[in-house]
Amino acid sequence: ISRPLCATRLAYHLPCNSWNSCFCGSDLETQLAAARKKASDALPGSSWSPFEANPNLPPERADIVIVGGGVVGWSIAYWLKQKERVREGVRVLVVEKDLTYSQASTVLSAGGIRQQFSLPENIHLSLASAHFMRNINEHLGVLNEDPVDLQFNHSGYLFLATEKAAHIMEENYSTQRKAGAEVSLLSPDQLRGKFPWINTDGVALASYGLQNEGWFDPWTLLNAFRRKAISMGAIQCCGEVTDFKYTTKRILTSNGDEMDLRRIKSVKVQLPGSLQYQPVECAIVVNAAGASSARLTEMLGVGYGGDAAGTQLPVEPRKRYVYVVHCPDGPGLDTPFVIDYSGVYFRREGLGGNYIAGTSPEEGEEPDASNLEVDHQFFEDKVWPSLAHRVPAFEKLKVTSAWAGFYDYNTFDQNAIIGTHPLVTNMYFATGFSGHGLQHAPAAGRSVAELILDGNFTTLDLSGLDFRRILAREPMLERNIV
């Protein structure tokens, strides 16, 4: 006997002896709908599964895995998504171990950008990044969201040089002008005229940036890149890369040496504070891990054995302190980012008479890089005397706050390493910026994306920053490191 159901369009044939007196109209409807859903879930082709999966796990397969979610990592993710020719052409996964960014170099940096370098590649990277930030809403604006406001202060950088270093500064000046940077040289008299609060004792020459130099908010830039990349389909994962699965091929070089060529097959991403992990099969891995980049190459087994295979990634974390001082009689709105020849730097912060100051320690006196504790004695011993000597108003100041951050310091030649490793065919490096990662991030991200998707550099030629120079022991020294 069949009983038609009035609630649905079709009639179902049901044996009435099993469904007798218990149901009235609407109850029967909902329960039948639930039964229908259960039945369709149980059949193959539905997305229901009896096992609960952790939604925070990364996908099982990705085309490109970017290890490191700082400004360089997200810049690469953005440019990869920008350059893909079809929608969802590349699946990009960005793995970041700490989403609060408590130890990330990006957010702890002083946020300056300058073109006053000695290496033309660095000047071009900074200039391209400045042009990117000029039109940042064109690049990183998302529909219906607030426009990006970097809070860029266009106050320029001021480098001071002694008699002995003046010729280096002049050489650098001509390199910078040739590359297109707007820089001007000042004599001590002109310096005093422009900045009356400076004490020009010992200064023979000064170099002042007129355009495209200053400082901005790094957190805003990081979030702008992240928001735009995610809106274009990049996937973010909170986890740590703990292992690689790779295949090894033994090859013979022209000298007759045997080398191990490695190819990464999958990345093991471990969730924070848990034993759960996900092996992500990938085609390309980008090492944008900043201060902890060397840990990744160690996992690959690169750096042991003889000769070229024995070259480790020469990037290590170096701790740098930043002190916030308050000086009500200090220099005014026009204070540039001043860098003294002794290495001490300071810049204005806000409008309330606050300044940010710091210096790089000597080579032999590097502080312990295992934590981010601040040494306040360092300020009194190394920073304050030079500050007070250079700007007499800084005799009376008060340290209101301080923090420490890591430089991903390239111990070989303090310049970025951008490119593949000769022995690991599918790992791309974008690390070792030694304090310039933030200001080079937009342009370096674009170059790495070109390298991955186009096969070679198209806009900027950064082949000089390849890993080969480390194997060949030919350093590309940058003379203007702060």
Partner 1 sequence: MSAAFMSLRRCCQRSALLAVAKRPWSSSPAPSPPLHTRFLLFLAQRFYDVEMLLSWGHRQKRMAIHRRNAYYGYTKNLYGADIAAAFYVLSLKGGFRYVGQSEWFRADRRGKFNWDFLNHKDTLLEEVNMSHTVINSGGLGNLEGQTSLRTLSLRGCPEVDDWFLAGLHVFQDSLKELDISHCPRITVGGLAALRNLKGLRRLDVSSLPKVSSPGLVVLLLEEMLPQCQIVATGYDHSLGQFGGGEVEGQREVREATDCVRKEGVL
Report the residue number, 156 or 290, with the smaller CB distance to partner 1: 156
Q: What are the structure tokens assigned to 76, written together?
A: 């690469």
Query: Could you tell me the smallest distance in angstroms from the CB atom of residue 6 to partner 1?
Result: 10
Helix (H), strand (E) at residue 280: strand 277-281
Minimum CB–partner distance for residue 2 and partner 1 (Å): 8
Name the minimum Å distance from CB 23 to partner 1: 16
User: In the complex with partner 1, which residue's Cβ is closer, 154 or 178?
Assistant: 154
Structural tokens at position 52 = 């609960």
How far is residue 293's CA from residue 311's CA, in Å, rounded to a whole number? 14
Choose between 206 and 264: whose C-beta lies nearer to partner 1.
Answer: 206
Nearer to partner 1, 30 or 46 (CB): 46
**C-alpha to C-alpha distance for 432 and 383, rounded to whole angstroms:** 25
**Which CB, 109 or 311, lies closer to partner 1?**
109
One-letter-per-residue 3-state SS of 54-76? CCCCCCCECCEEEECCCHHHHHH
190 or 342: CB nearest partner 1: 190
What whole-number distance in Å separates Cα of residue 180 and Cα of residue 229?
30
d(CA 409, CA 72): 15
Closer residue to partner 1, CB minimum distance, 68 or 331: 331
> Least Å distance between CB 48 and partner 1?
12
Instruction: Report in angstroms how near the CB of residue 335 gets to partner 1 at its nearest.
Output: 8
Q: How far is the CB of 40 from partner 1 (least distance, A)?
A: 4
| Among 79, 89, 76, CA closest to 285 | 76
CB of 338 to partner 1, least distance (A): 14
Alpha carbon 398 to its chain's center: 32
Pairing mode of beta strands 64-67, 92-96:
parallel
Residue 267 or 356 with smaller CB distance to partner 1: 356
Q: End-to-end alpha-carbon separation of the chain, Å?
A: 90
Provide, rounded to whole angstroms, the least separation between the CB of residue 32 and partner 1: 8
Backbone angles phi, psi at 430, to 5 degrees: -150, 70
Could you give the C-alpha distances from 69 to 40, 95, 217, in angstroms and in order? 41, 6, 17
**Region of 180 on the Ramachandran plot (φ > 0 left; ψ -120 to 50 alpha; else beta):** left
CA separation, residue 283 to residues 93, 97, 265, 286, 452 (Å): 12, 21, 7, 10, 11
Q: Which is nearer to partner 1, 143 or 275 (CB)?
A: 143
CB of 217 to partner 1, least distance (A): 10
Smaller CB distance to partner 1: residue 39 or 99? 39
Binding site residues, partner 1, CB under 8 A: 8-10, 12-15, 17-18, 35-37, 39-40, 43, 45-46, 87, 134, 138, 143, 151-156, 182, 194, 210-212, 214, 332-334, 351
* Residue 85, CA atoms < 13 Å, CB-side half-sphere: 3
DSSP 286-350: EE--GGGHHHHHHHTTBTBSSGGGG----EEEEEEEEEEEE-TTS--TT--EEE-TTSEEEEEET
Shortest distance (Å) from residue 71 CB to partner 1? 19
Contact by Cβ (8 Å): 28, 5 = yes
CB 293 within 8 A of CB 300: no
CB of 248 to partner 1, least distance (A): 43
Taking a C-beta distance cutoff of 8 angstroms, is the pair 465, 419 a contact? Answer: yes
Instruction: Give whichever of 211 and 401 is closer to partner 1, judged by the CB atom.
Output: 211
Assigned token pair, 318: 């170096």
Contact 217, 112 (CB under 8 A): no
The CB-side HSE value for 188 (13 A sphere, CA atoms) comes to: 11
Pick between residue 16 and residue 275 the one whose CB is nearest to partner 1: 16
Dist. CA 317–CA 259, nearest whole Å: 29
50-53 long-range Cβ contacts below 8 angstroms, 24+ apart = none
The CB-of-265 to partner 1 minimum distance in angstroms stands at: 33
